[in-house]
Every structure is written in structure tokens, then in C-alpha cells.
Amino acid sequence: MITVYGMAEPLRRPPTAAGIGGAPVEIVQHRSLVLAVTTHVSPPDRSTEAVLAHAGVCEDLMSTADAVLPVRFGAVFDDEAALRSSIDERYEQLVGGLEHVRGRLEIGVRVGWNRAATTSAPSETSEAPGDAVGHDLSTGDATGDAAGGRAYLMARVEEERRRNAVQRRAEDLAGRLHEALRAPAVDSRLLVLPTDGLVMSGAYLVECPGLDRMVAQVRETAREHPELDVLCTGPWPPYSFADVEDIRAS
Amino acid sequence: MNDHLGEDVALVEVIDRVIDKGVVLTGDIVLSVADIDLVHLGLQLFISSEDTARSLGRGRR
């Protein structure tokens, strides 16, 4: 079985990093593409170590080639023929994708609500049916259930309102932050509210010489928003820009 | 910031990219990573110093 880590074009030197389970990284040349792969007798394990090994091979590729597209973890083929045929199915997109990231790196920015400043735990509580009003013989349990149902609905409406408010606030904030952050970048991806604790998660594709400008921009954004937690990571291989279906091979 | 926390955050960042991003090749057998909760680990903690995070990103090789 063959595991694929990433593709590059061209490669200046053979990869040196070890693959999953310490397997030596081999090169499969297919048309203009160089694929970094390892061979296994059974499906490779999927531990955290395996994920880190995958990341290590992609980073190694970055240091040996100007254009690298990381492949998502878990791409396993029965044999080389199956791999080549899969590449052929999308060859033009892959070549276009490589051109798009050539000489560029990814910077990640995650922005979180500052915990000290935010206390907005979702309310899971609602009044139990029947507890909201006293029972009355003339109306019976039906009224109690109706009142309980009303209280439940009110709680649901309130919860919905609160969620919408958080969503609007996050969209507004993320929109403004992203607008500033993407200025030094040639391409970007934005996720608003990827988790409850995060306002946004952004990925920014930056020309190598523009890296300092990107970092300066993040620093400025963090300074302008002391009420937010800003985390900048990278430089990464362009994982977030390897969504080749979205790239028109031009 | 303590180093252990920095390692955790860097790990989440790496896992998030490797599992959730990158070229998807059709025809492959996509392995799911059972023991890693993707969107996850919630990223409960943040680093405000981008320099530290930046060096962590580089340190993972």
C-alpha cells in the first residue's frame, strides 16, 4: 500500500524526513509532479505520531521545493497504478494549485473571545413542565402542560436570540479583522465561529518576502484589540490553499 | 506562557491542518482518525505572542 504526503514541482534534493512508522520517503514522478510517498504492507496507523510524521514530510518538502501541495492525511492507495490514475483525474487542477502556492507560505491566525471578558455559557435550563403554574381542578393538567410548554418555548426563543446575537457579533468582528489581516496576503480563507470559543480562524497565503509584513499586521491587530486573544502560527506549508477544486487552472 | 501549553496549541494547529486540509485525492481510502476529536480539543487556550507561536510552528520538524 502507498501513502501519499504531498506533491512538489520541482524538487531540489531528495526528502530526508521519515514517514509514518519511520518508513523511508520515496519519490514517485508522475508527469511534471513529484509525489512524496511511503510503502506499507498494511494500512498505516493513524495515531498522533502518524499525523506529526505526515506534517514533518510536508515541511521537509517545503524546504526542498518552491511549490508544494500537501495531501490530506489518510490518502492510501493499493498500488502505484491507482495513485497515478487518481492524479491523472485532476492533473490540471493540481498543476494550477501548485502554481498558485509557488513561493508562498501559509500563516494561521486564530482569534478567541477573551475569557475574562466573556461570560456567555449557553443556557440549558428551562422550567420543567407543570412547575410554571399551579394546578387547577377546573382546567386540569392540560393547562399545566401548556404553561410548561410555553416556558420551554420562551427559553428556546431566548437561547436562539442569544446565539444569533453572538453570531452577528462574531461575523461583524471577524469581517473587520479579516479585512485588515488579509491586506498583506495574496489569498485567504476565513472561518467565522469555528467553535464557541473562537471568533474566527483565518489562513493567509503570503509571499515569502512578505512574511514580516504579515506578522507585523497580526501584531498590530492584536494591539488594537486587547480584548481578544490573538494567536498567530506558521509559517506552514499551504494546507489551507490545497483545495484545488476551487482553483481554476489558468 | 509555559512551554507545555505552547506545545499543546502547536499540536492542535498541526492536527487541524493535516487532517482537515490538503489535497483530497479521489479513489483513495480515507482513514478517519478515531482518537482525535477534530474541531476539538476546543482550543481552550491562546497565546498572545505570535513570535512564540511562530517559533513553535517552525520547531515541529
ipTM: 0.74
Report chain B residues whose CB lies below 8 A from the CB of A239: 17-18, 21-22
Q: Shortest Cα distance from A215 to chain B (angstroms)?
A: 8
Alpha-carbon distance B14 to nearest alpha carbon in chain A (angstroms): 7
In this prediction, residue B2 carries a pLDDT of: 45
Conformation bin of residue A219: beta by default, left when phi > 0, alpha when psi is -120 to 50: alpha
pLDDT for res A191 = 92
Angle, CA A176 vertex, CA A173 and CA A241 arms, to 5°: 100
pLDDT of res. A224: 92
Task: Using CA coordinates, name the residue in chain B closest to A77.
Answer: B28
Contact B22 A76 (CB under 8 A): no
Residue B45 has pLDDT above 80, yes or no: no
**Mutation test of the interface with chain B: which of A46, A72, A94, choosing the one with the most B Cβ atoms within 10 A?**
A72
pLDDT of B49:
37
State which residue of chain B sits closest to A53, comparing Cα positions: B61
Given a cut of 50, the residues of chain A with pLDDT beneath it are 118-139, 248-250
Q: Is the minimum CB–CB distance between A54 and chain B shorter than 8 Å?
A: yes
**Range 135-174 of A in CB contact (< 8 A) with B:** none
Q: Is the pLDDT of residue B11 over 90?
A: no
- Using DSSP, state whether A228 is helix, strand or coil: strand
Flag if B27 and A82 touch (Cβ within 8 Å).
yes
**Beta bridge partners of residue A201, listed in sequence order:** A110, A191
Q: What are the backbone dihedrals phi and psi of residue A195, each rounded to the nearest 5 degrees, phi first?
A: -140, 170
Q: Which amino acid, A9?
A: E
**Which one has a higher pLDDT value, A212 or B53?**
A212
Look at residue A195 in the predicted model and tell me its pLDDT: 81
Q: How much is the pLDDT for A192?
A: 93
Hey, of B5, B21, B24, B47, which one would you mutate to test binding to chain A, going by the most A CBs within 10 A of its CB? B21
User: What is the 3-class SS of A82-121, one letter each residue?
Assistant: HHHHHHHHCHHHHHHHHHHHCCEEEEEEEEEECHHHCCCC
Rounded to whole angstroms, how far apart are CA atoms A219 and A115?
Answer: 20
CA-derived radius of gyration, chain B? 14
Q: Which residues of B touch A2 (CB under 8 A)?
A: none
Cell of residue A91, nine digits: 492533473
Q: What is the mean pLDDT of residues B25-54?
A: 42
Taking the CA atoms of A9, A10, A11 and A12 in sequence, report the sign of the dihedral they define.
negative
The pTM of this model reads 0.77
- Higher per-residue confidence, A237 vs B33: A237
Nearest partner of A231 among A206, A198, A205, judged by Cα: A198
* pLDDT value for A143: 64
Contact call for B28 and A74, based on CB within 8 A? yes
How far is the C-alpha of A47 from the C-alpha of A74, rounded, in Å? Answer: 11
What's the mean per-residue pLDDT of chain B? 54
Instruction: Please identify which residue in the block is written with the cell numbers 491566525.
Output: A109
User: What residues 23-42 of chain B have any CB closer than 8 A to a CB of chain A?
Assistant: 23-36, 39-40, 42
pLDDT of the residue at B57: 43
Supply the pLDDT for residue B5: 52
